[in-house]
Structure 1
């Protein structure tokens, strides 16, 4: 999978830009705050209809404008896709080959990207919310059904939390709480089951990659850490049954607290190296190796799922990795994965992959070869 052309209109600090990409590796070189990351972000938004930097779409729209437009031509094995995403104060619209998609969940997945940015090094030691977002973004790229169930789950969860707050002050109906709980548990089971399956597959790739990076000295294990007593050995009906048991135990406490205390929105990921919790006891090097292994595992998992490598976005992350991890990353992607890199300096990166790259200089929102 390759991005052949990118057009930006009123996106961030780019008024009207058209870029063509013929090379496997493309480097955007420049000082900080010049617009390098905005290019990488635009590719990410084109694929996933949301930013990795902000949850506020209005921040993506150029100053004093009502909308932004991102267009891209994606070359796949079987076809050439033209994608278009329009961001406005009224919402988002996605088009594939000129046809507007009724739902964004139908648009997402047409192009696949893997982003690796400095904040992803916090994937291991950061908050559970960071890891849940990682799960949702990556599974969503390869499963539109997952995105559909997740979207419905989030809507029901919002209604349920609102009702729980009302019940705190003796307003609302406990019968309605049971109805919303029934709906939530059906969707929670679907989301949870798919996450278990994803982690099992990710583990297979990440374990081997981590083994290679650590020169065979360490074994990485990834686990899904649910907020209830569900497990990856349970089928869908068993997960639902266990979630109902959790509801009965938590019902009184949820009403007292005014919030839903169990479900996918409370779950987490766990990382263990050689039987030790990486989040608590791992060194910074181990935490970074784990994050790198996860990202490289994502690439392989997507390839195994769709038969094509995703586009890789490296946003100023090479400077955050030591020479050995940097070299391992670049060797892994060499001649296989179309890659876009932002950096302030390539002088310290002596690698064949970058020596053959297309290098663009970025200065004050202007891009030159």
Structure 2
């Protein structure tokens, strides 16, 4: 897989800029807040239709403009494709593949695959469960584009069910309960079944991808840590899922909903399902979130990112793009060396930096160096 070029129009702080990528390795050089991360964000959008920095399309559009566009050409084993995303302040997007408008996200996803590793990724260990769920879902979308539909359906059902729970709480607290109360309870049972069905599909896929990722991450972790530490990763579901089929898990889902029905009625929100799940990282059987040093946490995240690259390549049959956003400055010399050796010549890599001396002479000789300054791109 090779990203040949990318064109940005009123995207973030870029008015109109194009980049032709002429090397397997591209170094984006510039001071902070010049637009280096924005360029990587545009590639991330092409790969996943999501940004890890914002959920609002308005934030991606140059100030004062009503829309923006990202266009790119990618070369894959099976041929070349031109991809285009138009973002609007209204929130309505347009997607195009080879100049043809697409009506479904599924037709767009999978044409570019990318793994991003930024200095913010330590939050994967330290941050909230939501950060780990988003990471897992983003990985699954790249491995299995249909998952984008599955997770969106789940969240749609969840919103509808939560709205109904709010109505039920209001009706229950009303001293003069109307006849509609029992009707609303009956409606909730239908949403219970839909939530259990969709939630089971999400939970099983998340658990499976963790099982595939663990041995790859453990291999990299041993290499980086000098075999001194043991990494383990567990998917923490609020439904028992080990070695069970879809029907059994779905039934357990419904039983758990029944057990928590009074709590849900009081809180007016759904407390059972994959939106409450988490991923646990352990080093030598201790939770890395609480007991891991900063160095151990960085090693863990680096191992996970390298495992992601390997897993995507195994599944799709060709290496994904690697986007490294201000990472080297956060790593010590040993981890820098491990990372650069692991990706040497294997993945098309775009890496941002504020200082070229971070790289050795061979890396600099074999890389295309691009200067980014105030939303403008120059060949260095």
* TM-score over 0.5 (shorter chain): yes
Alpha-carbon distance in 2 for matches of 1:203, 1:100: 39
Q: Which of 216, 221, 224 matches 2:232? A: 221
Establish whether residue 317 from structure 1 lines up as the match of residue 318 from structure 2: no
- Work out whether residues 93 and 104 of structure 1, in 8 Å CA contact, stay in contact via their aligned partners in 2: no
Partner of 2:156: 155
Q: Which of 350, 353, 360 matches 2:363? A: 353
Alpha-carbon distance in 2 for matches of 1:34, 1:42: 15
Give, in angstroms, the shift of residue 105 of structure 1: 3.2
Partner of 1:92: 93
Partner of 1:103: 104
Alpha-carbon distance in 2 for matches of 1:147, 1:268: 19
Name the SS of the counterpart of 1:170 in structure 2.
helix
Partner of 1:200: 211
List aligned pairs for 1:14-93, cutoff 5 A. 14-90=14-90, 91-93=92-94
Residues 190, 71 of structure 1: alpha-carbon distance in 2 compared, 3 angstrom cutoff? same
Establish whether residue 179 from structure 1 lines up as the match of residue 180 from structure 2: no
Q: Which is further off, 278-287 or 174-183?
A: 278-287
Alpha-carbon distance in 2 for matches of 1:191, 1:8: 34
Alpha-carbon distance in 2 for matches of 1:6, 1:265: 35
Name the SS of the counterpart of 2:126 in structure 1.
coil
Alpha-carbon distance in 2 for matches of 1:298, 1:142: 10
Q: Which is further off, 205-214 or 58-67?
A: 58-67
Name the SS of the counterpart of 1:64 in structure 2.
coil
- Work out whether residues 161 and 258 of structure 1, in 8 Å CA contact, stay in contact via their aligned partners in 2: yes
Give, in angstroms, the shift of residue 221 of structure 1: 0.9
- Work out whether residues 328 and 358 of structure 2, in 8 Å CA contact, stay in contact via their aligned partners in 1: no
Give structure 1 stretches of 5+ with no counterpart: none
Give, in angstroms, the shift of residue 242 of structure 1: 1.1
TM-score in terms of structure 2 length? 0.94
Residue deviations 1:55-86 (CA, integer Å, cap 9, x gap): 11111111221110100000111211110011
Residue deviations 1:254-273 (CA, integer Å, cap 9, x gap): 01111100111000001112
- Work out whether residues 25 and 354 of structure 1, in 8 Å CA contact, stay in contact via their aligned partners in 2: no
Structure ID, larger Rg = 2
Name the SS of the counterpart of 2:62 in structure 1.
coil
TM-score in terms of structure 1 length? 0.97
Give, in angstroms, the shift of residue 296 of structure 1: 0.6
Name the SS of the counterpart of 1:6 in structure 2.
strand
List aligned pairs for 1:265-276, cutoff 5 A. 265-276=275-286
Establish whether residue 249 from structure 1 lines up as the match of residue 250 from structure 2: no
Residue deviations 1:305-328 (CA, integer Å, cap 9, x gap): 000111110111110111111111
- Work out whether residues 327 and 351 of structure 1, in 8 Å CA contact, stay in contact via their aligned partners in 2: no
- Work out whether residues 331 and 353 of structure 1, in 8 Å CA contact, stay in contact via their aligned partners in 2: no
Name the SS of the counterpart of 2:251 in structure 1.
helix
Alpha-carbon distance in 2 for matches of 1:351, 1:216: 29
Alpha-carbon distance in 2 for matches of 1:355, 1:239: 54
Name the SS of the counterpart of 2:339 in structure 1.
helix
Alpha-carbon distance in 1 for matches of 2:142, 2:361: 31
Give, in angstroms, the shift of residue 232 of structure 1: 3.1
Residues 169, 73 of structure 1: alpha-carbon distance in 2 compared, 3 angstrom cutoff? same
Give, in angstroms, the shift of residue 247 of structure 1: 0.7
Alpha-carbon distance in 2 for matches of 1:39, 1:359: 14
Alpha-carbon distance in 2 for matches of 1:250, 1:102: 39
Partner of 1:168: 169
Count of aligned pairs between the two proteins: 368
